Homo-oligomer: A and B are copies of this chain.
Amino acid sequence: MDLRQLRYFAAVARERNFTRAAQILNIAQPPLSRQIQLLEEELGVALIIRSSRPIRLTDAGRLFYEQALQVLGRVDQMKDATRRVGANRNRLLSIGFVASTLYGGLPLLVRKLRQNAPELDIQLLEMLSIQQIPALKEGRIDIGFGRLLHNDPNVTSTVLREERLVTALPRDTALARETGPLTLADLTGQKLIVYPKEPRPSYADQVLALLQDRLVQPAEVLEVREIQTALGLVAAESGICIIPSSARQMRSDVEYRLIGDPEALSPVILNHRAGDNSRYLGLVRKLIGDMYAENPAWLEANNLPRRP
């Protein structure tokens, strides 16, 4: 399979006609026919129903068509972005982040970065904590914001803050009617939703370890792929979920209650390559320090007293 075949297929799918598609592609009809056949053979799936005029797509073909358009669009964007960075001599700063840090200061940091270094091309990539390590080592990202400590000597980690945890609860439930913080023990017998399901170890393991250390037994544990799914299930009254405090902002139709236990914390960790002394990393560190020095409301609400 290659991009050429995707382009060919998209043209046929759009036109519903091999002959016209071939004209548009500026090739002859028989090689177009053969390329589509090769594609179908590789996939082992019929994409086109040829015993009708105009031809029709199978369900698999319809799915493939939409996906092919998306991939081709992605490739075009990729070319544009690469040319932009290369042609303008822009410097690239790639930032990996776990979804739950999106509401905990990251947007503000990016805005300040853009103000302080307008020549920077900033690429934001959502990825799990454990995925940031190889990405840093391979140079795919320059810094990562995660929540999991690791022991790779090639990657340096700085705990920026310890963020408090909250329980996300369906509305109109007994726990939701409590007004003060809950304890981990209060969660005994609840149906617990954890994320991310894989790869492991992940934030899910942090939550489960926290409960186990307190000998708290949930009624059931449901593992899901990502935090948005988890919160959606909470909203649908399918269970409760423990999330970092700042991630409350992600969803307004559930209740959130702080967890009062002192160990109910999740670190926000800055990862970068060991020995990296690039000036943009220095700038990032400075901007984070400035942000924390302002001690804004969002920082105070979600975290322990700031480390010196």
Contact = CB atoms under 8 A, between A and B. Distances in A.
Interface stretch (A28-36, A42-50, A207-215): A42-50
A87 B45 contact: yes
- How many of chain A's residues touch chain B, expressed as a range? 35 or more
Interface stretch (A64-72, A152-160, A262-270): A64-72
Contacts of A67: 74, 77-78, 81-82
A107 B60 CA distance: 23
Contacts of A65: 138-140
B62 A92 contact: yes
Chain A interface, DSSP helix/strand/loop, else mixed: helix
A82 B138 contact: no
Given A63-B94, A70-B74, A43 B82 contact: yes
Contacts of A140: 62, 65-66, 69
Contacts of A46: 86
Given A45-B87, A63-B92, A66-B94, 13 more contacts: A1-B75, A2-B3, A2-B4, A43-B79, A47-B82, A59-B85, A66-B123, A67-B77, A69-B140, A70-B74, A248-B253, A249-B253, A252-B252
Pick the 6 closest A-B CB pairs, nearest first.
A45-B86, A252-B252, A60-B86, A59-B92, A2-B2, A67-B78
Interface of A: 1-4, 13-14, 43-47, 57-60, 62-71, 74-75, 77-79, 81-83, 85-87, 90-92, 94, 103, 107-108, 121, 123, 125, 135, 138-141, 232, 235-236, 248-253
